[in-house]
Amino acid sequence: MTTTLLLRDRHLEVEALPCLTGILLRGEADMATLPVLELALDILTDVTGDVILDLTELTFIDVLGCRALAQTAVLRNSAGHRVALRGAGTGVRRTLDLLGWAALFAFEPPEEPVREPAGRASGHQVGVISHHVFA
């Protein structure tokens, strides 16, 4: 899959998805990379129609990252548009469910087979770490 790099941080890359309205997140979405994640999600604010957030290559996301995804979904849903999370692992789904945010999203399987990051065993789960989050 060919994509166009939009943003890059030391630990997080954001690429535009080809032929679809959405972005691919690669690396780690946490407190340190939150500004890059939020900027990437802001790019989607003016997009008309449904969007896809491809998490297939995301290796880690904390609660602040999940909150940023949820805030985007609330805005998109209030405008009548769907936000689909592609390739979200069970850790991400469970965290979103525990926080009451899972219903904000449609969940899709990965489009292509997942490429395992170097040094990881097949079938790895995305790590999720909790921070105190106040609305």
Q: How far apart are CA 77 and CA 104, in angstroms?
A: 7
DSSP conformation class of 111: S
CATH code at 20?
A: 3.30.750.24
120 within a domain of the structure (yes/no) = no
pLDDT tens across 8-24, in order?
A: 888 999 998 886 789 99
Q: Is residue 56 domain-resident?
A: yes
The total number of structural domains in the chain stands at: 1
Distance CA 3, CA 33 (A): 20
Asked whether residue 35 is assigned to any structural domain, the reply reads: yes
53 found inside a domain: yes
Tokens of 94: 């469970």
In a domain, 130, yes or no: no
pLDDT in tens, 47-86: 889 999 999 999 999 999 999 999 999 999 999 999 999 9
Q: Which residues pair with 16 in a beta bridge?
A: 4, 23
Query: Is 27 within a domain?
Result: yes
Report yes or no on 135 lying in a domain.
Answer: no
Q: pTM to 2 decimals?
A: 0.79
SS3 state of residue 58: strand
Residue 79, C-beta contacts closer than 8 angstroms, at least 6 positions apart: none
Query: Which residues are within 8 A (CB) of 120 and not within 5 positions of it... i.e. 6 or more apart?
Result: 59
Residue ranges making up the domain that contains 40: 4-108
Is residue 118 included in any domain, yes or no?
no
